[in-house]
Amino acid sequence: MAAVYKSLTGSSTKNATINGAPAKKNKQRVLILSSRGVTFRQRHLLNDLYALLPHSRKDAKLDTKTKLYQLNELADLYNCNNVLFFEARKGKDLYIWMSKAPNGPTIKCHMQNLHTTSELHFPGNCLRGSRPILSFDAKFNSAPHLILIKELLTHVFGVPKGARKTKPFVDHVMGFTLADGKIWIRCFEIRETAVSKAESRTQPAEEMDKQIVAVGEKGETKINLVEIGPRFLLTPIVILESSFGGPVIYENKEFVSPNQIRSELRLSKAGRYNQRAEQQMDLKAKKGDLGLRTGKERPNGELEDRVLFA
């Protein structure tokens, strides 16, 4: 079908030139896989991303969590230059690795608040295999490590033109927003609806200005964004120089491990228990001093019956 489409449209990627020079072809392929121990929601999220990225290749689960350098060999085997690896820990935490194989760099992020497409029940929809528009927040250009993260996200989520299983359409937008030190990722459908004459007459001019209205051959068209999912947020942890290894070139000092958070919660509960235990011990000591505890005889007073009538 791709060859038929190229022959009908007359497009040829081999002879494409820009200002007399041969155009650089964007060749990006992504290998998507996970580790053992992923939950059903995490597995469904992986399937949603695989459906949104037609230039990706999904592989079986990786048996090891320590020898991640083996992913470079898998990427070379499947002719992929990007790796998206989901690492599950304790059935609760999910870490995502994004790497440029085989030379790097590699970004490790902690994934939170993940919601799949099936559980959100959004009314939007997009064509399977279509290419997205990547929308990045302006804050990504404020720091060197954010520029690197933006470039790697572009290589992973940006579907190249003419890639495998792609359709010649652009009908959805992937938004990357930076807030509170986290990357918020959303996916929206570009929905176009024709503006009727009655609607243009009854709708105030102020509301028409807030909406995007395009004028084409068939008249005015109203363009809206409808969220289709999935949605999740990423917290960058470290950036490694090479692929799944090498020296650390960036580390997020504000990141707190979920294991440490759960440990602090357990310690706080244990502190409350220890405080109650100490109070009970103090109360027993006071009762023992007053002779109110059973098992300890109280000394006889001068006015007791056993002393007066002895």
How big is the CA angle at 205 (ends 203 and 209), to the nearest 5 degrees? 110
Q: Residues 54-102: pLDDT tens digits?
A: 999 988 888 888 888 889 999 999 899 999 999 998 888 999 999 998 8
What is the Cα–Cα distance from 171 to 191, expressed in whole angstroms? 8
Question: The pTM is what?
Answer: 0.74
- pLDDT given at position 13: 46
What is the Cα–Cα distance from 30 to 44, expressed in whole angstroms? 18
Compute the Cα dihedral for 105, 59, 4, 159 and give only its sign: negative
How big is the CA angle at 212 (ends 211 and 214), to the nearest 5 degrees? 140
Find, among 98, 164, 165, 178, the residue nearest to 136 by Cα: 178
Q: How confident is the model at residue 238 (pLDDT cuts 50, 70, 90)?
A: very high
Q: Are 86 and 46 in contact (CB under 8 A)?
A: yes
Compute the Cα dihedral for 226, 138, 110, 259 and give only its sign: negative
What is the Cα–Cα distance from 121 to 128, expressed in whole angstroms? 17
Q: Are 190 and 55 in contact (CB under 8 A)?
A: no
Q: Are 132 and 173 in contact (CB under 8 A)?
A: yes
Q: Residues 168-194: pLDDT tens digits?
A: 888 899 999 999 889 999 999 988 887
Q: Are 63 and 87 in contact (CB under 8 A)?
A: no
